[in-house]
Structure 1
């Protein structure tokens, strides 16, 4: 039987979900060919008002990678070159697979990444992921009449993030405090359609709460990153809008574990959660778009070791 401390730890909500998906999930064939076990329509909620963030302790999760990826999103970037320059390789699999498929060259991941970093022209040709998160968050396409029933795309697009900050500040009771990456017209051009697709916010009693609707939820590898990304963004928005952090709510659509993640599941479920770390900011940047990596101060993170597991592409 679980002891009381472990049962009450907020990480137990994630671990309970992992265990139930593995034991009760429906076997499903998926686009990767690996196969999953999946359930539908799940909810997790975490109180961020005490300064903690949902950074798992039952395995080490690279919060530094998460911060750099989030800043890459907010910068409107879609090419992996800036990530690789910061040592972040989590998006390499998709352009690497395309390069191998289209050229027939059996290049190693390390060699491919090195060439992306060293050769800007090569990066432009092979490192772009299409109109993924950064493009939709910061440059949602805008069109204007071009005569005779035609329309042309304007160069600037719609900056959903800046608009969101403005709306939270000026109309905090609005039911339209949200942004999304799910642009139906551009899905086919994306290396991977957005999994964490729609974020919504709610202001009450001086606190900012946030909700993430995630359509596809890789519980073993992706969700631990997605929870922290959403929590960091909520904290950034709260700071920029002179609000305190409130509750973070996560909704999962297709919530799954890959069939080749059995060892990860067994190892992680056998571990005891440790206290969650806290997040502070070293400064208050001028805008939501001006944060730097050094602004994020994570304290008290003492996780169990990382658990290797294959990624399905």
Structure 2
């Protein structure tokens, strides 16, 4: 489902450019925004929505998803894998608190080499992985939403309660960034696993393409554990926006022709949902246009 699948994304980007509401957001950058959008990708033929009108660094997205599944929330464990997509938020916090104009590279070096500094400034709070794997109830009991999902997929795949989410109201204030991709719901029919993922806030240029790769990787792992094939990936966006400093990049992307979607597969069966590694993922036939630079709005 490559060309027409990606075209749906490009059409959405064009609608945001043409009809988006001009809004001043918390970052101060400003956005063009639409509310309530949906895209559907058919994964049953093996193709996956890794965009081709710009290069998407799919290994970084998969590494992030694997990190979420560990339940960890420390920046160091990401940096050790050369994943830097979460640095901006603790870096901003440190700069504001210390008044030091430290570079990102030097900040990351200190996180990697200074245990005390990493403990103080390198924890991202109870973000996704904490909520997915270690949601703590008021009675102190810890709930593993992912583990429960795997078991339900195996024993009761017709259940309408196969979902997990990260919007833990009591913990929001402690998070480096409140969850954007909030809710994942799953459905099995005729031996195929489908997923609907809801994002409350969608950076259409940088965030959505990256989150789609992570979701498909998660679907592959869950399907592997439950002996299922892939069905549909349904994406629902709440506030779907382009940042004002991304508009030229978006227009450049819209000028390009989509190419055939690649395929993603697992190279081995893992014993459990906790046993996958980046080496277990392979992408075939990925031939994207060159990358497009765009700054993250923090």
**Fold-level match, TM-score > 0.5?**
yes
Residues matched between the structures, number: 298
Deviations 1:96-152 (A, max 9, x none): 0000011111110000001111112211110111000010000011232xxxxxxxx
Q: CA deviation at 1:10?
A: 1.1
Contact kept in structure 1, 2:184 and 2:195, CA below 8 Å: yes
The 5 A counterparts of 1:5-154 are: 9-144=4-139, 153-154=140-141
Q: CA deviation at 1:176?
A: 0.2
Task: Give 2:249's aligned residue.
Answer: 264
Q: CA deviation at 1:266?
A: 1.1
Regions of 4+ moved over 2 Å: none
Deviations 1:144-179 (A, max 9, x none): 2xxxxxxxx35xx21100100001111111110000
Task: Give 1:175's aligned residue.
Answer: 160
What is the alpha-carbon root mean square deviation over aligned residues?
A: 1.2
1: CA distance between counterparts of 2:43 and 2:181?
A: 19
The 5 A counterparts of 1:192-211 are: 192-211=177-196
Task: Give 1:149's aligned residue.
Answer: none
Deviations 1:47-99 (A, max 9, x none): 00111111000000100100110111000011110111111100000000000
Pick aligned residue for 1:300 from 282, 285, 289 = 285
1: CA distance between counterparts of 2:227 and 2:191?
A: 8
The TM-score, its normalising length taken from structure 1, stands at 0.93
Instruction: List alignment gaps of at least 5 residues for structure 2.
Output: none
Q: Secondary structure, in 3 states, of the residue corresponding to 1:64?
A: helix
The TM-score, its normalising length taken from structure 2, stands at 0.98
Q: Secondary structure, in 3 states, of the residue corresponding to 1:214?
A: strand
2: CA distance between counterparts of 1:224 and 1:120?
A: 34
2: CA distance between counterparts of 1:301 and 1:119?
A: 39
Contact kept in structure 1, 2:149 and 2:163, CA below 8 Å: yes
Q: Secondary structure, in 3 states, of the residue corresponding to 2:227?
A: coil
Contact kept in structure 1, 2:220 and 2:265, CA below 8 Å: no
Q: Secondary structure, in 3 states, of the residue corresponding to 2:136?
A: coil
